[in-house]
Amino acid sequence: MATILLGDNNNNRDVRTHEIIAITNTLGGVYKLQATTGFINKTLSERQLVAEKILSMGIDKVSSLMFDLETNVLPSQDENFQCIVSPECQKPELDSCKDCPFSVPNFYAISSLVEGVKESVYEFVKEIEPSSFEGEKTRLMNCLYKDMDNLERAMQKFGQNEVFNFFENGEEEYNQLLNLLDEVQSRTSEDFEQYLTYSPIYLP
């Protein structure tokens, strides 16, 4: 049990003994420990199943899945959850999606895309300089374009006006962000797009 919870990196016998005692005091006697171990093993097994399912999708499907999660459009049987394998339910025997390893709580939304774009723009404006290392320029450009590309995808899917509603000052704030990028371009006179390795899908 200590190995499951704490890993097997500790070779000190006395320390491991104290860890086992602490776990026993916290989780209870041998029967409770067995039940807890079974639960943890089951959870780890289910997480492995989810990981294998996602890894088998391929990069394009995974990218699409991440976008659908962020925009909160994946259906499920429960209102406050999204299912990453919908509509093919993998756990029909469960009473609620909250107990399913394939479900994701609905805390992703278009607002997270907007916040991501704002953070990327502000970081780009603050950090990018002609003297920056080439690798840093590539990182900043890729982050910026990835977030802008996702935002453009949301605009194409839900409409510009709908997406602008997630900016505090609407379209005006969005245009201010674009102006900040233009100012950086004017100030540095450098073609930063040459450092871009991410290939935008939705940006014109």
- d(Cα 204, Cα 200) in Å, to the nearest integer? 8
Summarised one tens digit per residue, pLDDT across range 143-201 is: 999 889 888 888 887 789 888 988 999 999 999 999 999 999 898 888 888 988 888 87
List residues bridging with 105 in a β-sheet: 81
DSSP one-letter code for 90: S
- d(Cα 48, Cα 204) in Å, to the nearest integer? 38
pTM for the model stands at: 0.54
Question: Residue 107 — very low, low, confident or very high, per pLDDT cuts 50/70/90?
Answer: very low
- d(Cα 152, Cα 62) in Å, to the nearest integer? 18
- Biggest distance spanned by C-alpha atoms of the chain: 70
Q: Which residues neighbour 180 within 8 Å (Cβ) at sequence distance 6 or greater? A: 121, 122, 125
- d(Cα 126, Cα 132) in Å, to the nearest integer? 12
Summarised one tens digit per residue, pLDDT across range 10-64 is: 556 666 566 555 545 544 444 444 444 444 455 556 667 777 777 787 777 877 8
Locate the domains of the chain by residue range: 1-56, 73-107, 110-195
* Beta-carbon-side half-sphere exposure of residue 140 (alpha carbons within 13 Å): 20
3-class secondary structure, 82: strand
- Report which of residues 9 and 81 the model is more confident about: 81
Give the burial class of 174: count Cβ atoms within 10 A of its Cβ; 0-12 exposed, 13-18 middle, 19 or more buried: buried
